[in-house]
Structure 1
Amino acid sequence: MNKSVKIIVSRLKRGMVRAYSMTEILIVLCIIGIILLMVLPNQTAIISQAKSIEAQAMLNQVYGLQKSNFYRFSKYSSNLEELGFEQELTVDEGGQAVYKIEIIDATNDSFLARATSVSDLDSDGSFNTWEIDHKKMLTEVIKE
């Protein structure tokens, strides 16, 4: 054996190994925790914006299906199943969808569809809501 291996073996036999103390490890973990707490509140707005893209995409799909239905039958439908839209299971039903889609109003000349969040994304008591109409006006009715 070479000299450095003999030194390590002799230190192991004596029970002395160079390492960090428990106090040093706890201090580092506390610092990391404090940094995370400072960064996470700034990320909630970005998270809610990303989740609202789901609502916009689903409402645009409903718009396309409504337009197709209008060209075929000269009227808008008030039934999502009739349009061929399949609502994914929401998070409160065990699925992954954050928004519940519904058609609020449908006549021969117009329609209004709404996507409402099933969970309060930023815990402020208001549920994010988006709407789209027959003119493809996509608006955020209740902001998150």
Structure 2
Amino acid sequence: MKGKRVILDTNLWIHFLISKDLKNLDKYIFEGKLIIVFSQELLEEFIEVSGRPKFSKYFSFESITHLLRLFDFYGDFVKTSSQINLCRDKKDDFLLNLAVDGKADFLVTGDEDLLALKKIEKTKIITISELLNILK
């Protein structure tokens, strides 16, 4: 199976850090079944959110650094140029731009505003449970 290009929304990365459970996604990444697609905007959002004081009791700076190394080594950094404005929550439009410009197979999120769209061009917008079912 060719590696599926996947965008994981920040809410999932934060969940993974808190729960210390990557749902076996790390295995799929290491096996080349998943390629993590990310952009400067997604990276900045992750750093901003993970640095909030309310999260400091759940995970360490080292955990964040480890995840950033995972992005760097196994990810595909995409410079976005699209200007899509479809999401009810406009601050999430950058993920739609990344989906299109990054030619992602899936945008994985728990955000209802994004999930309501179901698809953007060839990118399916799905939950983590749906992704795990696809990967089985």
TM-score range, shorter chain: under 0.3
Higher relative contact order (CA 8 A, sep 6+): 2
**TM-score normalised to structure 1 length:** 0.26
